[in-house]
Amino acid sequence: MSWVPLLYPHPIYCANPLAIGQNSIEMAPMNVPFAGQYYMNIVVQDHGPLNFFLSANMSWSNNKDGGGYVQFGKSQVIRPLGRGWYNLNPVVYDMKLEYSYANNDNEPLQVRWYSGKAPVDWLPYCD
């Protein structure tokens, strides 16, 4: 394991979308509890080797606050995950994932956002 969430151990967002071929997914909105730095982690394939993943674009947006995005391709993914640190404000962000796979099988993904500060409400739930 290349990273253990010790500094940012509190999940604030969780999604497990299924990707098939090339498409985009509107995921559940992300409610950010407070302003600060957050860690985003995306697992793009639940099996090895990393042979079908081609690229992904994860974006988050809010009409008043703006948002951000991260793009990564197969050559930028280490041990099939994309990750990074992002500054977020306490707003609700619309979440979108665009992806490209070289096959048409169901490819389960895991999208997680972590905070260094515990949220007041319950932790996010994923099926």
Digit-by-digit pLDDT tens for the chain (127 residues) are: 445 456 668 889 999 999 999 999 999 999 999 999 998 888 887 777 778 889 889 999 998 888 888 887 776 555 445 567 889 999 999 999 999 999 999 988 889 999 888 888 766 667 6
Among 91, 94, 86, 82, which residue's Cα sits nearest to residue 55? 82
**According to the 3-state scheme, what is the secondary structure of 2-62?**
CCCCCCCCEEEEEECCEECCEEEEEEEEEECCCCEEEEEEEECCCCCCCCCEEEEEEEEEE
**Residue 102, φ and ψ in degrees, nearest 5:** -85, 5
- Architecture of the structural domain at 10-115: Sandwich (2.60)
**Residue 74, φ and ψ in degrees, nearest 5:** -55, -35
The ranges assigned to domains in the chain are 10-115
